[in-house]
Chain A
Amino acid sequence: MNLVYYALQQLINALSIGSLYALMAVGLAMVFGILRLINFAHGDLMMIAAYFAAFALFANLPLPLAIGIMIVGTILVGLIMERVAYRPIRGAPDVAALLTSFAVGQILQNGTLLITRLLQKPSPLAFPVIGILSGVFAFGPITVPRVNVVSLIAGIVLLVLLSLFVTRSNLGLSMRAAAEDLHAAQLMGIDINRVIATAFAIGSGLAAVAALLYAVQAGQLTPYMGFTPVLKAFIAAVIGGFGTIAGAVVGGYALGALEVFLTAIPGIGDILPPGLVSPEVQTFLKTWLPGSLTSYRDAFVFVALILMLLFRPGGIVGRREREEMQ
């Protein structure tokens, strides 16, 4: 019976991590879909959002106002980033654009470092405790951290809103047209600059929400905290099908499930109730799937990415686009 609770708990963990990855991956995928740009500075945008939230909360602003400031501030940074760095290199080769996004990331990281130093804040900076996001929910014997439940709900609500936006509104339709064929969309009279700015704005806003939830779980902020999340978001987007919003969402939840699986399975030999499997199987599990394997999780996730790139570059939902990859 314990095993069922254990599995349920892991399922909720998977869905909540998946929501964060999906929120991040959608921003990457929208920009990639239109511009063929892998925007690695997306992770640093998330970092900036967490700092905005922290500083607003330090100033004792009420939570809704702090969240508002965080979202608006992050969207502004995202728009400035697009205007100053990415618009001049539109049409540049893939790799040049990718490297530019790394440089933008360096500027955001070191800018944050510089400002926090000047304000004499420590690094890492402890993220303020938010009452309604701390503690746990107890559903019978299962306890789940509140922030996980909120992540899950926030992720689903925002992603549903996004899908309504891209299918029902004019701007959303133009965005999908631009992702299909930028040049043709332009010929049809779509204002490309407006569409691209919208993609960056929505991506930044979603990243900001993900940042808040991520920061609550991590408990502390550093200027370099965006690197791992953006890598994960990228992996999620590739697994799902790069360049499409649906792919990013599917990939986000798939990656969440994969990670929780990779964390939960090693060490399973130690928690299986006696008598469920034969002793030989239990010894086998203990020998070959020791709990220490968990620390290799990120390595396995990247192996999954590389396998995906090689064997199904179109992703779970995507079309096969082998030609483009090689």
Chain B
Amino acid sequence: MTASFSWRRVGGPLAAILALSVVLTILQASGLAFWQGLFVNLGIFLILVLSLNLSNGFTGVFSLGHIGFMALGAYASAVLTLPLREKGDYLPNLPGWLAGVHFDFYLGPFPSGFLAATLIAAVFVSLIALLVGLVLMRLSGHFVAVATLGFLVIVRVVLFNADNFTRGSRTFSNVTPYTNLWWVWAWALLVLYIVWRIKRSSFGRAMLAQREDRWAAQSIGIAVMPPRLLAFVISAFFTAVAGSLYAHFITSFSPTVFYFDLTFRVITMLVVGGMGSVSGSVIGVILVVGLAELLRRIEDATLLYGISQIILAMIFIFIIVFRREGLLGQREIALDRWFERR
């Protein structure tokens, strides 16, 4: 089956990309630091939620450990791009093969070193995810959730104690601020496209099938492990990319950032949008990031610190009680169908 190329199908996505480019160009030119920062955050969260949806939503194997992958991606890429002088000052005990590494190459104006560092970090994290996944993807339900939470704790303990690589509990700072709107949204669109394609591929259908009923799926020859593992590794890859983008945006961070609060924030976005729905993830991210920003302002104005988390958690419980599938459930807003003849 070869789908013939049709402008009607490509029209919707192209229009969306065009609109996004216009918005980003205006934002970039405007110099409004707040809105630029908000859009960078939106993009990074979008990558995180889409990746999490790929593993948790599509395969139903609920991971609470993804922020550990993000942390590893952030640290790995930051170590690679850290200028040599800072490296000597901050990380004097780095092993020789890493101490002399500095990914600062450019292709014209394009910082290809950042891209390379991000990719290397993501591949490194995927290998770890493969090892972890081989062991943990055999569990399901809440047991896999708690085992992956254990992975998050293990990553945190290691980051705190591996002083030679991470400076331990001290802040890792002076990371080159490569990340900007274009980097984030280029990656976000790529992840969006790939996750969307996976959902409609045979592998994606296998993921959904074994989630719905593993015995029925197995009885018609769909194995359980390969789709679960594939989803877990790909999603760890992109989560690490988000970590790298985050590290080069925030420029200084410590292991405490990558822990349970962030995990819960990302899961809220996923559940609000609807697990298993790609467009739901987009909506969940926009709603929760927007709402959190609004609530943060209320919090600053009223000095009632903690109220924003309370309200977000209550909304979360409401969604689970009254609309368990999230806003979109399994449905999609299919951009490529917009201009089709009805």
Tell me the A residues contacting B by CB distance below 8 Å: 38, 85, 88-89, 92-100, 102-104, 106-107, 109-111, 113-114, 117-118, 227, 231, 234, 238, 292, 295-296, 298-299, 302-303, 305-306, 309-310, 313, 324-326
Residues of A within 8 A of B142 (CB): 38, 94-95, 97-98
Interface contact B157-A114, CB-CB below 8 Å: no
Report Cα–Cα, A247/B305, bound state, in Å: 40
> 28 A-B contacts, Cβ less than 8 Å apart?
A92-B324, A95-B62, A99-B320, A100-B316, A103-B320, A106-B264, A107-B313, A110-B310, A111-B306, A113-B305, A113-B306, A114-B307, A117-B305, A117-B306, A118-B304, A231-B153, A292-B161, A295-B157, A295-B160, A296-B161, A298-B153, A298-B154, A302-B150, A306-B136, A309-B146, A324-B141, A326-B138, A326-B140
Contact across chains for B143 and A104 when beta carbons are under 8 A apart = no
How distant is the Cα of A62 from the Cα of B169 in the complex, in angstroms?
40
How many Cβ-Cβ contacts under 8 Å join chain A to chain B? 117
Partner of A309 from the list B143, B158, B310 (CB cut-off 8 Å) is B143
Q: Across the interface, which residues of B come within 8 angstroms of A93, CB to CB? A: 324
Whether, in the assembled complex, B147 has its beta carbon less than 8 Å from a beta carbon of chain A, the answer is yes
In the assembly, what is the distance between CA of A295 and CA of B146, in Å? 22
Kindly identify which residue among B143, B150, B160, B313 contacts A106, using a CB–CB cutoff of 8 Å: B313
Which of B138, B267, B309, B321 is A310 in contact with, Cβ under 8 Å?
B138
Q: Measured between alpha carbons, how far is A99 from B314 in the docked complex, in Å? A: 12
- List chain A residues, Cβ under 8 A from B146: 38, 234, 238, 305, 309
A104 in contact with B138 (CB, 8 Å): no
Cβ-defined contact, A92 with B320, below 8 A: yes
CB closest chain-B residue, reference A84? B317
Q: Determine whether the beta carbon of A309 is less than 8 Å from that of B320.
A: no
CA distance A309 to B142 in the complex (A): 11
Complex alpha-carbon distance, A107 and B317, angstroms: 10
Q: Which residues of chain A are near B304, meaning CB under 8 Å?
A: 114, 117-118
Question: In the assembled complex, how far is the CB of residue B134 from the closest CB belonging to chain A, in whole angstroms?
Answer: 11
Identify which of B140, B151, B160 contacts A325 (C-beta below 8 A).
B140
List the B residue with the shortest CB-CB distance to A32: B142
**7 pairs of A and B residues whose beta carbons are closest in the complex:** A110-B306, A302-B150, A114-B306, A106-B313, A113-B306, A103-B313, A299-B157
B310 with A107: CB separation less than 8 A: yes
Chain B residues with CB below 8 A from A92, complex form? 320, 324
How many residues on chain B are close to A (CB under 8 Å)? 40
Give the shortest distance, in Å, between A216 (CB) and chain B (any CB): 25
Inter-chain contacts of B267 with A (CB < 8 A): 99, 102
Question: Are B320 and A100 neighbours in the complex by a CB distance under 8 Å?
Answer: yes
Q: Of residues 302 to 334 in B, which have CB atoms within 8 Å of A's CB atoms?
A: 303-307, 309-310, 312-314, 316-317, 320-321, 324
Cα separation A234 to B260 with both chains bound (whole Å): 16
Contacts A107-B310, A107-B313, A113-B305 given; does A95 touch B141 at CB 8 Å: yes
What's the Cα separation between A118 and B305 when bound, in Å? Answer: 9
Query: In the complex where A88-B321, A296-B161, A298-B157 touch, is A325 in contact with B139 (Cβ < 8 A)?
Result: yes
- Complex CA distance for A324 and B139, rounded to whole angstroms: 9
Q: Establish whether residues A99 and B271, one from each chain, have CB atoms under 8 Å apart when the complex forms.
A: yes
The residues of A that contact B320 with a CB separation of less than 8 Å are 89, 92, 96, 99-100, 103
**B154: which A residues are within 8 A, CB to CB?**
298-299, 302-303
List B contacts of A107 (CB < 8 A).
309-310, 313-314
Give the distance to chain B from A103, nearest Cβ to Cβ, in Å: 4
Task: List the A residue with the shortest CB-CB distance to B155.
Answer: A299
Residues of A within 8 A of B153 (CB): 231, 298-299, 302
Complex alpha-carbon distance, A58 and B223, angstroms: 61
In angstroms, Cα B271 to Cα A93, docked, is: 13
CA distance A96 to B326 in the complex (A): 11
Q: Which residues of B contact A110 (CB under 8 A)?
A: 306-307, 309-310, 313
B309: chain A residues at CB < 8 Å are 106-107, 109-110
A189 to chain B, nearest CB (A): 28
Give the chain A neighbours of B158 by CB distance below 8 A: 296, 299
| Contact across chains for B317 and A111 when beta carbons are under 8 A apart | no
CB distance from A88 to the nearest CB of B (A): 5
Q: Of all chain B residues, which has the CB nearest A304?
A: B150
* Assembled-state Cα–Cα distance A94/B145 (Å): 10
Shortest CB distance B306–A (Å): 4
Q: Is the CB of B317 within 8 A of A100?
A: yes
B residues within 8 A CB of A88?
321
A102, A298, A325: residue with the most chain B Cβ atoms closer than 10 Å = A102
With known contacts A99-B271, A107-B314, A325–B324 Cβ distance under 8 A: no
Q: When chains A and B are docked, how far (Å) is the Cα of A303 from the Cα of B321?
A: 34
| B135 contacts the other chain (CB 8 A) | yes
For the complex, is B149 an interface residue (Cβ under 8 Å from A)?
Answer: yes
CA distance A147 to B188 in the complex (A): 53
Given contacts A296-B158, A313-B143, 11 further A-B contacts (CB under 8 A): A95-B62, A100-B320, A106-B313, A107-B313, A110-B313, A117-B306, A231-B150, A302-B150, A310-B135, A325-B140, A326-B139
